[in-house]
Structure 1
Amino acid sequence: MMKRKLKFNAGRRAGVGETTTTSSAARISEEVKWEMRPGGMLVQKRGDNSGDAVSAPKLQIRVAYDAARFDLSVNSHATFGEVKKLITAETGLQPGEQRLIFRGKERENGDYLDMSGVRERSKLILIEDPESKERRFMQMRRNAKIQTSRRLIHDVAMDVDKLSEQVCAIEKSIGNGNKVAELQITTLIEMLMAQAVKLDNVHAEGDACAHKNLQSERVKKCVESLDELKVANNAQVKPPVVVATAKWKFLDDPPPPATTNWEIFD
């Protein structure tokens, strides 16, 4: 009889322990919230408790970008998207232009560092997005062409300044009544036309296009001025004055001596 009571009490104590353990596990499972991560992985959902973020340890991670290497101090509970924002300050690449590789796999912006296995001194590989890299390359080429166009237009403008001074000098000389060699005017016109050809071969955009048109207009006005000066220069040529030198004979003058030789025939 005593043995049966002991077994019964032991069974009751065991039942109470199992009930307590089961209820505790149920409460823990109710408190834990889960979320589906990219790739189908079920992980514990992060809470919005700011205290967790404050108490989370800092990590020193190294980022490799081409030949460059730099270290970042990040929160262990941070996401790869937040790391990309820090990388922007180092490289100038916007987050949408970055791809982060860790352990041979590209990581999504919402992936957490600690859940992905990132530890102290872990290494991330940064790759620029190919489409973004192509756009950057095309923009660099476009900027280089714009700079080249501006430099060519500037050089033409300097040459036009010098030629304009010569046009003004010729205009002043002809205005003072001086004769200018026509070859000088013709040569100056040819030099101006050569500058016009240079401008035609320049592909300009934006403000460079406006500067190009301005220089083309300057060349046109200089050529027109030289054409007018050529006409004025030719008009200054005066025909030679013919001086009459006729000799007058008077009737009172003695006749010229006779020079006729007579031949006598036998």
Structure 2
Amino acid sequence: MWLCVVAGELKKLLTAETGLQPGEQRLIFRGKERENGDYLDMCGVKDRSKVILMEDPSSRERRAIEMRRNAKIQTAHRAISDVSMEVDKLAEQVSAIEKSISNGTKVPEVQITTLIEMLMRQAIKLDGIAAEGDASAQKNLQGKRVQKCVETLDVLKISNGKVKPVIVTTKWETFDPPPTTAHWEFFD
């Protein structure tokens, strides 16, 4: 059975049983670790020989590091997604203001300024997110969206200042009450 079996092949067979990848396994025979290219029969392994399989201690550390890294990536994705949803809402408000001004309606300047401040808060949140890889690309995309909205609002603020407000006046007419007569006639 052990004739011409390579230690690396045995590790592959044991992956299903142990859940450990071949690189995470160590095969020990007669107190010595056997390398992937070692032929087990050449090492003296025969039927009923005792071969010890151990988990490589460094693989545990690598898995723990990988799990922490994945948790950080997921946290970054969630934080960026939260900012993205908020930016979506604020972008709708920017569009509404843009539509109002293009229709000739003057918008209170405080409304534009408040919206710029809200967008800048989202930019600060984005800046505080540690991201790498795909999350970094998403972070940059959201940052550009915020910047575009703020730039649009800056232009709208100028346009809004040029809008002549429509003033509706009503000329009220007043009527004098009919004169009262001080003279009363009495009938008997």
User: Is the shorter-chain TM-score for this pair beyond 0.5, marking a shared fold?
Assistant: yes
Q: Does 1:98 align with 2:31?
A: no
Q: Which moved more, 1:135-144 or 1:228-237?
A: 228-237
Residue 34 of structure 2 aligns with which residue?
108
CA distance in 2, matches of 1:221, 1:117: 68
Q: Does 1:131 align with 2:58?
A: yes
Return closer, same or farther for 1:159/1:117 CA change in 2, 3 Å cut-off: closer
Matched-pair contact (CA < 8 Å) for 2:29–2:50:
no
- CA deviation digits over 1:135-171, x for unaligned, max 9? 2221221122112212221221111111111000001
Give unmatched runs, 5+ long, in structure 1.
Answer: 1-52, 54-74, 119-123, 241-266
Return closer, same or farther for 1:113/1:193 CA change in 2, 3 Å cut-off: farther
Which of structures 1 and 2 has the bigger CA Rg?
1
- Of 141, 148, 153, which aligns to 1:221? 148
Query: What displacement does 1:102 show?
Result: 8.3
Q: Does 1:205 align with 2:138?
A: no
Return the structure number with greater strand share.
Answer: 1
Query: What displacement does 1:114 show?
Result: 2.9
- Of 38, 60, 74, which aligns to 1:147? 74
Query: What displacement does 1:78 show?
Result: 6.5
Matches within 5 A, 1:1-266: 53=1, 82-100=9-27, 108=34, 110=40, 112=45, 114=47, 116-117=49-50, 126-237=53-164
Q: Percent of pairs identical after alignment?
A: 63
CA distance in 2, matches of 1:78, 1:235: 85
Higher relative contact order (CA 8 A, sep 6+): 2
Give unmatched runs, 5+ long, in structure 2.
Answer: 168-188
Return closer, same or farther for 1:213/1:107 CA change in 2, 3 Å cut-off: closer
Match of 1:127, SS state, is strand
Return the structure number with greater helix share.
Answer: 2
Matched-pair contact (CA < 8 Å) for 1:77–1:113:
no
- CA deviation digits over 1:99-152, x for unaligned, max 9? 35689x56636352536357xxxxx6x532112221222122112211221222
Number of residues of Structure 1 aligned to a counterpart in Structure 2 = 159
CA distance in 1, matches of 2:8, 2:99: 72
Q: Which moved more, 1:177-186 or 1:161-170?
A: 177-186
Cα RMSD, aligned residues only: 2.9
Match of 1:99, SS state, is strand
CA distance in 2, matches of 1:200, 1:211: 12
TM-score (structure 2 length as normaliser): 0.70
